[in-house]
Structure 1
Amino acid sequence: MIRFNRAIAPVSVLSFDLDDTLYDNRPIIKAAVQAQTDYLNTLPGYQHQGLQQWLHCRDCALQQQPKLIEDVTQWRLQTLGLLLAKQGFNADDAKHFASAAYKVFAQARSNITVTDDVLNLLDKLATRFTLIAITNGNADVSQFNLNNKFNLVLQAGLHGKAKPHNNLFDQAATHLQVPHKAILHIGDSLDSDVQGANNAGCQSVWLNNQAANYTYKGLADIEITNINALSHLI
């Protein structure tokens, strides 16, 4: 299904969200969290406390440093440090083991295989448009088969403020030397992707393929239920 909610201005750049847009991120995160937990359980003196303790430390980290919400990598690192400190690890050991645990998480986090149909779609779209990625996540595209599919990859935290802030969209327009309206951003989240693109003056596509509650009430320019509907843009 493809539905046009507004007339589309000429587009030269397609911007893609990554997680849950070009692949199902849920099993990937589950495996990465399990890898992190398995590592922590090997540490002498560490006692696994379960999800509630993790969420408590995550909230505490954010209360101490509200800007962590813009950078999921640093947020996880700080959460790990707090978790280990509460387990009695001294400051140096907590920092060291938090970094090691994050490396284990990150390796599994980028253990992704994008399906051939999505790769073929991107190749076809690339014959007409410049392809970029704008993501709030921390998957490293150089580590899996989206490597070399994008002219530019912008990641929240590493490169700027998280969507729906304008920052990454502004950077993309400046880097590519195109007006914001020439960028069509595709993503699964109304709150971050559609709201962010709309606020930045870009155009937007909402991939509406999962049950989720959103607070943003604005419309995407285009709504689709399957990523392959983008072939209609060619």
Structure 2
Amino acid sequence: MLDLTLIKAITLDLDDTLWPIWPAIERAEKALDDWLSQHAPMTAALFANPAARHEIREHVIRSRPEFKHNLSAIRREAIRLALYRSRENPLLAEDAFAVFYAERNRVTLFEDALLALEFLSSRFPLVALSNGNADIQRIGISNYFRTSISAQQFGVGKPDPRIFHAAAGSVEVAPAHVLHVGDDAALDVLGALNCGMQTVWVNRTEHLWTHAGEPHETVTSLTELCDLFPR
């Protein structure tokens, strides 16, 4: 059971916890494809082949292991490699990535997200903790957070305990006094449990829990999360 008296800070996952990620990624992919069609049509044709797109991404991951947790760098380098293979200007990669990244951050928050952020941030310091490359300032929610820690910034991602410890340290709170909230059973819940944090699993789609360790609480919305706290 969740012990509310221990909580001094909250770490929050972003993608699929505060907004659905795949609609934003699909829009970003479309914006990138449209831009490449205008400025680098041979590269656009190459990326239109899913197998070729996958092979390029895997090549980047294998050849640049330092990019393992840096989704932005992987995407940018994949675009650069595709431009090079298509005999078009690799310098276009920066502008192409900028188009993708702008759309990737044009997310649609879940209906319960803003009210939950207002409620929680008025009571606890919040830390955004993500394996993704979302920019909370671009999205317009940075004022709710004390700080933001991402895998690409930190160098390792969830469920590695180091990133959870860094999140707790960023607000000068011991892990035992942190509540981590997220949608991913393994990355969020088990990762946080393994470093001594309390956890709330945000299970919006009625997934079954299949792991040995269990979250302290399970909710189907951020409204239910807020209802756990006295008003």
Structure 1 length as normaliser, TM-score?
0.87
Deviations along 1:178-232, one digit per CA (max 9) or x if unpaired, are 1111111111111211122122222221112237799965322222222211112
Contact 1:113-1:144 at 8 Å conserved across structures? no
Per-residue displacement from partner, 1:13-65 (whole Å, max 9, x unpaired)?
11111111011112111101111111111215435132221111111111112
Aligned equivalents of 2:210, 2:158: Cα separation in 1: 14
Distance in structure 1 (CA, Å) of the matches to 2:19 and 2:44 = 34
Could you list the runs of 4 or more consecutive aligned residues of structure 1 that deviate by over 4 angstroms after TM superposition?
6-9, 211-217
Separation (CA, whole Å) in 2 of partners of 1:224 and 1:46: 44
Q: Percent identity?
A: 29
Aligned counterpart, 1:35: 31
State the distance in 2 between where 1:206 and 1:111 align: 25
Tell me if the contact between 2:70 and 2:151 (Cα under 8 Å) persists in the aligned partners. Answer: yes
| In 1, Cα distance between equivalents of 2:105 and 2:79 | 19
Q: Which runs of 5+ in 2 are unaligned?
A: none
Which has more helix, going by share of residues?
A: 2
Aligned with residue 131 of structure 2, among 136, 140, 150: 136
Counterpart of 1:206 in structure 2 is 201
Which residue of 170, 173, 195 corresponds with 2:168? 173
Q: CA deviation at 1:87?
A: 1.4
Taking the TM superposition and a 5 Å limit, the aligned residue runs for 1:6-155 are 10-42=6-38, 43-49=40-46, 50-89=49-88, 93-94=89-90, 96-115=91-110, 117-155=112-150
- What is the one-letter code of the residue matched to 2:155? G
Hey, what's the Cα distance between the residues in 2 that align with 1:100 and 1:30?
18
1:101-159, Cα deviation, whole Å (9 max, x unpaired): 11000111111243563211221122322111101111111112313110111111123
In the alignment of these two chains, the number of paired residues is 226
Quote the residue 2:217 is aligned against: 222
The residue type paired with residue 188 of structure 2 is D
Distance in 2 separating the partners of 1:40 and 1:217: 47
Q: Compute the displacement of 1:71 (Å).
A: 1.1
Question: What secondary structure, in the 3-state scheme, does the structure 2 residue paired with 1:143 have?
Answer: helix
More displaced stretch, 126-135 vs 29-38: 126-135
Give RMSD over aligned pairs.
Answer: 2.3
Q: CA deviation at 1:82?
A: 2.0
Native 8 Å contact 1:8 1:221 kept in 2: no
Q: Which runs of 5+ in 1 are unaligned?
A: none
